[in-house]
Structure 1
């Protein structure tokens, strides 16, 4: 079942709004600070070659994770839309049979 463009756009706008909210979330701000500090501690003793290799791997890893998350999210949206459609269809069938 292909989702209509307007629905995908609405979901993207909602996701964008949530991302803005997340940028201001105190717990996420604290986690970002801790992550930055751990990153600085880990890489302060690494030479340039090791660092470049790690960054190349990290780029590929994070891209893969982003694709996985996007697929999980869109599958959840599709499953939710199918469930709503099924429930609405069932409701209309029950109304017609009364």
Structure 2
């Protein structure tokens, strides 16, 4: 079953909104700044062989990505539960109206 275009637009808008809020999370902002500094140090000398800075940058990068994904996952779960509750409530309301 294909979703209606309006529904896809609403879901995309919600994802964009949640992503924008996640980016502004203090914990993620701090990680982004740390990652950026380590990345600059990594490429400042351009001799990448055996540089511990690369491991440091890679760790920060993966940690930041994991945290962003975790926030997206939990917000998606909350939104999904809220959507399911609203749809169920609407269905129950429609049933009551039909019984009357």
- The TM-score by the shorter chain falls in which range? 0.5 to 0.7
Q: Structure 1 residue 82: deviation in Å?
A: 0.5
Q: Structure 1 residue 8: deviation in Å?
A: 4.2
Q: Structure 1 residue 78: deviation in Å?
A: 1.4
- 5+ residue gaps, structure 2, are 43-50
1:73 aligned residue (72, 75, 80): 75
**In angstroms, what is the RMSD of aligned CA positions?**
3.8
CA offsets 1:33-90 (integer angstroms, 9 cap, x no match):
x95xx85xx97xxx85343222110111111112212211221221111111110011
- 5+ residue gaps, structure 1, are none
Q: Residues 68 and 92 (structure 1 numbering): CA distance in 2 closer, same or farther, change over 3 Å?
A: same
Give TM-score, length-normalised by structure 1: 0.57
CA–CA separation in structure 1 for the residues paired with 2:93 and 2:13 = 30
Q: Residues 71 and 8 (structure 1 numbering): CA distance in 2 closer, same or farther, change over 3 Å?
A: farther
Q: Equivalent residue for 1:10?
A: 10
Q: How many residues align?
A: 82
Runs of 4+ in structure 1 off by over 6 angstroms are none
CA offsets 1:18-47 (integer angstroms, 9 cap, x no match):
73x9x9xxxx6xx6xx95xx85xx97xxx8
